[in-house]
Structures are given as structure tokens and as C-alpha cells.
Structure 1
Amino acid sequence: MLERLARLALLPLLLALTGPAGAVDIRDDLGHTTRLASPPQRIVSLLPSLTETVCELGACARLVGVDRYSNYPAQADALPKVGGLDDTHVEMIAALRPDVVLVATASRVTDRLRALGLPVIALEPRSYRDVQRVLDVMGQVLGVPDAQRVWRRIEAGVAAAASSVPPQARGLRVYYEVANGIWAAGPTSFMGETLTRLGAANIIPAELGPFPKINPEFVVRANPALIMVGARGAEGLAQRPGWDRIDAVQRGRLCVFRPEDGDILARPGPRMAEAAQIMARCLRDKGAR
């Protein structure tokens, strides 16, 4: 009897230490830990790659709001839009009564959302390893087992894309411009890692970081044999000072990506295998000449 009473007396302490059944502690990319008593049923996502990850893990129906750039899949695109990185509508998010808000590490509203008592998890994959890690974290958040099945499919798709690149296109010196300004995809970014897996040689040195801002003269001196760029960036590209001397420009080895392809290429998440196929097609069509 005394032993039973002692166990009952210790029960509140044990619950305080372990939390309620099913509770998980999520440590995000800002080092903040959020306790979720149960898998969230009302989710707001403010980063397209996280939106796509939620849906790929079978939890799209739990989304109640997304940022304006989350346009895939169609189910997510139809949800209320709560702004972008610079104009997030905090009051609108609060009105949606989310169980958790998923944000980028650079989000400017994280502290405001937490001040309102909303659980916030900041995640921002920048590399292949990050994507694999974030899948694990999102699996814990959503209560979905074997989230790594998505990663295995990504890896298989990237490997298939790599095998489709002909030998004559391998080793090609490539410049990938991700944004006007000009911002490039470095070898340590997820885009750069895809290029490497496809056998391309990135002209950007790894020490410059994942997405460095590049002096246009650097690209002229590097003289890439192939340029990958979005439709907006392609406007006037050949008229940049000295760029008419670049081998890729002279030989017409430019892959200009459509906006819809640009979305796939720019999101480190479930569609990375599709992104690899788009890049591989570019290498086959332009690099094998």
C-alpha cells in the first residue's frame, strides 16, 4: 500500500519531466525548442518548400493558410494567402487559429507570432543534407512515420536524372544564375549539389557560399560553356558588358527556365528529383552539342 502511494506521489513529477503521452519537443534551425502536445491539425506554412513537404507527407488537409508563393500542389494554392517574407499578415495568421506556424529562419514575424502564444517552428533547408534532416523533423511534427521514404524517392530520381546525361555533357563548365543582381548557385547550395551530381562543373568557388552575389566580370573571366537562368534574368543577358565574349553566349548554350520550372528548381523539398530532370534536360539539349 505504501509503495503504491509513493508511486502515485511521483506521478505528477514524472509527467512534468516527460510531458503528456504523444508530446514531442521540436528543436528548430534557430535553436528554439517547441513542445507539441499532439500532431498539429491546423498548420500555417510561410515557406513554399515546407508547404510542399507537408503535402508530400500526406498532411495537406491540415494546412489552413500559406504564404503567397506556396502555389503547389493545387490544394495548397487554394488556401488563404497570408503574405510574403516582408509583408506577413500576423493578425490573419492568428485568426486562422493554427496549432503551429512553419516559417523560414529569416522570417521577420517569428517573435511577434510567439508573443501571441502561437507555436512557431523555423526550418530552412539549403542543402541536400538539410532537406533530409528537415524531412525527419517534419515527420516528428506531423506524427508521420518513415518520412525518409520521400528522401529515398528524391535520391532515386536524382540518380536517374544523372544517368540520363550523356558523357560529352559531363564536366561542362556551368554558370547558374538564380536571381538578378547577380546571384549565383554555389556548389554548396542544393542547386549546386544537383549540378555536381549531374556531372557538371560549377564555375562558382565553394568558398563563396551557397548563393553568392557575383561581379559580372567574374563570369566573363570564368567563361562558362553553359548558362542556366530564369526568364527574367535572361532579358538583356547577352548585352551585359563583355558577356558577348562568353563561350555559352556565342554558341547559344543558354537554358532559359520558365517560371513554373523556376519554382521547382528553387525549392529544396519533395520536387528536387524533378529539378534534377530539368537540369539534366538542359545538359542533354545544350551541352551535348
Structure 2
Amino acid sequence: MNRLLALWFALCLHAMAWGQVSVRDDRGVTVSLAAAPQRIVSLLPSFTESICALGACARLVGIDRFSNWPASVRNLPKLGGLDDAQIERIVALRPDVVLAAPSARVIDRLEALGVKVLVLDSKSHTDVQRALHTLARLLGTPDAAAVLWARIEREIGDAAARVPPLLRGKRVYFEVDAAPYGAGAASFIGQTLVRLGLANVVPAELGPFPKLNPEFVVRAQPDIVIAPERSLADMPKRPGWASLRALQAGQTCGFASDRYEILIRPGPRMGEAAQLLADCLVGLERTR
């Protein structure tokens, strides 16, 4: 009996050790949990989408106000955003871990209250790939990330193959905000554009998503302009922008808000984003 008891105890210890999860986030902080988290709060849409794409949507107990995909997350508690996450409500949900971007203001406060916070960056393709692998390890399904990333790569490759040869090398201005902010060559969006055979008027040295002087865009004279539909419609009203030849010639890709969200979220739908861009480029080639 004592021998059986000792064996049972050893098996329990082994199971406990196997269940422990320890991952290193993009701050260099090691986040350790007794087991894979069952209650997760996501404070960024791309994290929400990544958790779901890795098969763990049911573990989400709260999300930021902008998370809206897949449809199953829309009824979860909305907990604010990067600048105004609702700390008391987050703590009340008793999360095993909170997923946050480096710019989230609540990180220190949550950790002071004893909440585990995993901080991940997502400015580039490399960042996104690393984040997916980190999340997969956190969830206890480490192999899932490689499968997901292979699908993203395959979709981007398929999109690149559809880009008309006459448009390869064309210079693009991709607007992320009407301020204006542009997607630079160093961003995940800029890297997708390069994969599609396009050039970027916003150089890498300006950073991933720099605020631009409006005159910069006018002087750059991009061959193609990509933006939300509403921003595209307003561009000719901006001082000097009516002289942009891309606007005059209709060499533009304007996206409805639901489609545009796919383009600007660095996560599992990046392959779909590349396909949307390729669809527009095919349409532009037909109108030339």
C-alpha cells in the first residue's frame, strides 16, 4: 500500500510539473503559471484573434473594446483600450493572465495587484510570428503556432503570385490614420507590401507607423494610395493633395471599415489581408 501511495504521489508531482507553463515576453520578463491559463483577458484585437486562431477562444473571459472577430467574442465583457483599460473589472474577472501591448498603460498597476501580464509586441512579421509561438506555448499547444504561421505564409505567397506584373515595384502610400500616419517599410504592413512586390514611400528609418507632414505625401507622389474609404474620399480636400496623381488617376484602394480592420491587425488574418490587397491590385491593373 505504501509503495502504491508513493507511486501515486510521484505521478501527481509529475503531472503538476508537466502542467506548469513558463514563457518569456517581449520585455524580457518570464511569466510563470501553475498550468496553462483557462481565464484570459486580451487587451488588443490581434491577441484576441490569435488566441481564437490557436483554438482557445473559449478561454477568453474579457477583451478590449475593439475586438470583434471571430463573432463568438462579441458578447464578452469589453474592458477598455490601451489608454483606459478598466482595472477593477479586469481584476474582478480573476484572469490567469492578461495579454497586453507594450504601450498599454495598465501593465504596472495590474502587476502591482498580483495579476500576471504577458506583454507582446507586433510591429513586424517577425514580431507576429514570435508572439504566436509564445501564445501557443502559453496555451499548452506549442505545435499550433507553426501550423498557423505556415498558413499565413502560404496565403501571402498566393496573394503575391496574383499581383499583376505591371504593378510590381509601384510606390505605395498606406494610410493608417488621417493625421496622417502612414505604414512605414519597417511595419508588418510595409513588409506585406514588399512581399507583394511593391515599394513604400515611407522609408524604414521613419519607424513602423510615423506621423507624417502632409507635404511629405504630396512630394512623394505615390503611384498607389491605400486607405479606408472615408479617408480616401476626404484626401482631395486636404491642402495640396488634389495634386496627387494616384488620386487623379483612380489608382487607389479604398476599404470599408470591416475589411480595413483586417489589413491593420498584426495576427492570424495577415494572409487574408494580403489577399485583399491583391484583389484590389488586380482591379487596378484592369482599369489602367
C-alpha displacement of 1:145: 3.0
Do residues 110 (structure 1) and 116 (structure 2) align? Answer: no
Which residue of structure 2 lines up, in the alignment, with residue 155 of structure 1?
153
How many aligned residue pairs are there?
273
Which residue of structure 2 lines up, in the alignment, with residue 81 of structure 1?
78
Which residue of structure 2 lines up, in the alignment, with residue 279 of structure 1?
277
Contact 1:150 1:270 in 2 (8 A): yes
- Alpha-carbon distance in structure 2 between the residues aligned to 1:21 and 1:285: 53
Q: What amino acid does structure 1 have at the position aligned with 2:172?
A: V
Q: What amino acid does structure 2 have at the position aligned with 1:139?
A: A
Q: What amino acid does structure 1 have at the position aligned with 2:60?
A: L
* Identity fraction in percent: 55
Which residue of structure 2 lines up, in the alignment, with residue 49 of structure 1?
46
Which residue of structure 1 lines up, in the alignment, with residue 210 of structure 2?
212
- Alpha-carbon distance in structure 2 between the residues aligned to 1:180 and 1:31: 34
Residue segments in structure 1 that go unaligned for 5+ positions in a row: 1-10
Which of 226, 229, 232 is equivalent to 2:230? 232
Do residues 95 (structure 1) and 98 (structure 2) align? Answer: no
Which of 124, 129, 132 is equivalent to 1:132? 129
Q: What amino acid does structure 2 have at the position aligned with 1:80?
A: P
Q: Secondary structure at the match of 2:254?
A: strand
Q: What amino acid does structure 2 have at the position aligned with 1:54?
A: I
1:163-209 per-position Cα deviation (integer Å, ceiling 9, x unaligned): 01111111111111111111001111000011111111111111111
Instruction: Using the TM superposition, name which of 230-239 and 142-151 deviates more.
Output: 230-239
Q: What amino acid does structure 2 have at the position aligned with 1:192?
A: G
Contact 1:223 1:246 in 2 (8 A): yes
Do residues 245 (structure 1) and 229 (structure 2) align? Answer: no
RMSD: 1.5
Q: TM-score, normalised by structure 1?
A: 0.91
Contact 2:63 2:79 in 1 (8 A): yes
Q: What amino acid does structure 2 have at the position aligned with 1:160?
A: D
Contact 1:253 1:287 in 2 (8 A): no
Which residue of structure 2 lines up, in the alignment, with residue 4 of structure 1?
none
- Alpha-carbon distance in structure 2 between the residues aligned to 1:157 and 1:150: 11
Which residue of structure 1 lines up, in the alignment, with residue 191 of structure 2?
193
- Alpha-carbon distance in structure 1 between the residues aligned to 2:71 and 2:121: 22
- Alpha-carbon distance in structure 2 between the residues aligned to 1:166 and 1:254: 15
- Alpha-carbon distance in structure 1 between the residues aligned to 2:73 and 2:141: 19
Q: TM-score, normalised by structure 2?
A: 0.91
1:68-123 per-position Cα deviation (integer Å, ceiling 9, x unaligned): 11100011122111111222111111111111111111111111111111111011
Contact 2:84 2:105 in 1 (8 A): no
Contact 1:226 1:286 in 2 (8 A): no
- Alpha-carbon distance in structure 1 between the residues aligned to 2:282 and 2:55: 34
